[in-house]
Each structure stands twice: as C-alpha cells, then as structure tokens.
Structure 1
C-alpha cells in the first residue's frame, strides 16, 4: 500500500460522510417541522384576530342600531305629537274640599262703570266653607285692576302661589279688611274699593302703588 493511501484522513471515511448526510437530513426535517408549526400558530392567531374583528363589528353595529331607536320609545323624550307640559305655567292652587273647580282658573276682570263712591262686595262664586273671622289668617288668590280701565297691576296668579295674611287687623288695605270678613271659604268675590279705602288718590304720596278706585277679584281658599 502506498503512503498516500495510508494517510487518508478520518473525515474522508465512508462512515463519516454517511453520518454527516444523516445529520443534515435530520436538521432539514427539524427545520421543516419548525416552519410548519410556526405557520400553524400564525394561521391560528390570524383566525382569532379575524373573529375578534367580526365580533367587534357586530357589537358596534348593534350599538348604533340601539342609539337609533325612535324617540317615542320608553325613556325617550316625548315626540312632537305629545308635547311636554309648559314648565313656565304656575301650578293649580290647592282648593278647599267641595269648592267650585272654577277657582282653579284665573278670572278675567273687567273695568267698572260710573263713579265709585263706596266699598261694594259682589259674590261671584258662593263658597260652602266657614265664614272668615276678624283676626284669622286667610289664604287667597287675587287679581287687582284699575277700576276705570281694567288694567291689571297685581296678581297672585302671576307669582304662581296664593297669598296668606291676617285679615281685619290693619295688615292690608281697609277695603280688604272690611270686604273679606264674613265671606265663606271657597268663595270668589269682587271688591270695588274707592281710593280712600285702598292706597289713596294722591299719586305723589302713593310711593309707586296704584291710586284711585280699584277692583279686586279674590278667591278665599282657607281661613284659620
């Protein structure tokens, strides 16, 4: 045997070449398996992402449909066909038991005629309650106008609540003190009051209050 043949290196042996080929094949198989696993994971994640987008889209569409419910469904603002009550309108007064329902509506007051010389009390609605006594606190709704032209200058209806005050003891004008004592609760009366029993006839000393003869329509709602 020649010296060249005797010096063949171990890397050149058939067994070593076969082992390297086998190792390379195993490595290639492992790499292919790893790629398949990565592709499978990526496909699964993509599917999950698509499902999430679809579910989110359905939820968004359903929410928008909910927001577009008609205004006349429960909990919605009343439609134009059913307008809300007028918030500016004053509440109806609390009427005494058995009182005429007309006391719940503001009366229309017209001017007087001729010269007013004395206090005149005219019943418009006759109440069935007890008669007002001197010194009691009475609760009333009223409208005050100038006797001559019917122009309104004061009204408890405008304030939205009745007025309560003592009667017959000098806390109100004499025309009220004299005209309302003895009136039955639940009544509506018209008081025609000459200037001297109201705020006087002298505008210079009236302090901005109405002067001359006045007409009041007064509803007596309570007395105690």
Structure 2
C-alpha cells in the first residue's frame, strides 16, 4: 500500500511538472519586420520573400507555430526590446542593438547598398562624394559602420524606400540610399527615371536575431541547428536560387 501511495504521488508530481512545462512553452513565435521586397514580403497568402522563405522552412522542420506582423523598422526594434515580439530577420549588428537582441549564428545573405539620384546629379564614387548632399535613409535601419558613423552626412529619415525615391525625383532631396535589389525593384515599379550610381556600399552581414526578453531565447540552439541542417541538405541553396542568389561557403 505504501509503495502504491509513493507511485501515485510520484505520478502526480510528474504530471504537474509536465503541465508547468507546457504552460511555460510559448505557443507562437512572433516575427516582426518591415516590408522590404524581395527580402520580406507580406501578402494575402502569408509572409514570403527571401528571408521569410528561409524562416518558413526552418519552423516547418521544427514544428513551431509562427506569426508574422508587418511593422515599421523602428517599431519592430522597440517591440523586440520590450519583449512584445520574439524574432527579426535581417538586422545588422550594432553595439546598441546587442543590449536587447541575441544574435544567432545564422547569417543571411548580405546586400550592397545603392545610391539613387536624378540623372543630372554629380557622380557618387565614394562616401566622400556624399558630403554636403541630403540623403534619404529609412527610419530605424542601419547601412553599415562606415556610413552610419560618418558625421559629414546629412541624413533625412523617411518611412519607406518608395517615399525616398519619390523625394529625389521631386527634387526635395539629393540622394536615396537603399539595398540594391529593393531599390532596383522600386525603380522599375515607379518608373521615376532616376539613376543608380555605379558605386555601391558593400553590405554587412544581416542576422537572424531573438529578443533577449523573449521566452523563445531558450530555443536559440535548436533554431541554429536547423539552419545548419538546411545548408547541409541543400534547402538553403535552393531557396537562394529562387531569388537569383548563390549560396556561399
């Protein structure tokens, strides 16, 4: 009888612990970010684009439930800092962001930054040629250490890259800077007749990041292992090829 009581007590404890574990496990991974085709695309059929296609394959393998929310970049970082969102894809690494973001070992394909001007504008061959000219930048985004730290540059923040290009076309600002693929896509869509300057600012590595305040931070190693497996079995390469990219080493 005593043994039976002990077994029942042990079973009750195990069931209680299992219940607590289920309650502690978050139900949905909350992914936030701005719409930046072809990297992050929000459509009726769901979130897609290069970054989100990679993420969708990873969560499919992991069996995680995921939700995607389109929010402005600056707002997305604030949600991550406050623990109201769990994951972002594409941020560059900066010391101030590392205070509230955990940078995983998952490095996404980098993208050079291009500069768009009116056809009659002076050429842009280096950062030195940007001095004294107004430059539209996307609010909340970073473009690399050299560009971000250059105190000579006159930056004007805008809410999206389309607005930046339109401001250049109307003569309200001199230059718009954008990731090359996104800028070229917008240029074709808008037909604004702007010139992409031949000099490009080399892109720095973008990352998959988790909020330090998120309960999903405990699952970071699982996520990293899944992306490693995707590289090893070719899934990573196949997704990149859909966007005209080649997988690195």
Instruction: Please say whether Structure 1 and Structure 2 have the same fold, judged by a TM-score greater than 0.5.
Output: no
Query: Normalised by the size of structure 2, how large is the TM-score?
Result: 0.23
| Larger Rg computed on CA atoms | 1
Structure with the higher fraction of residues in helix conformation: 2
Q: Which has the higher contact order (CA 8 A, sep 6+)?
A: 2
Query: Normalised by the size of structure 1, how large is the TM-score?
Result: 0.24
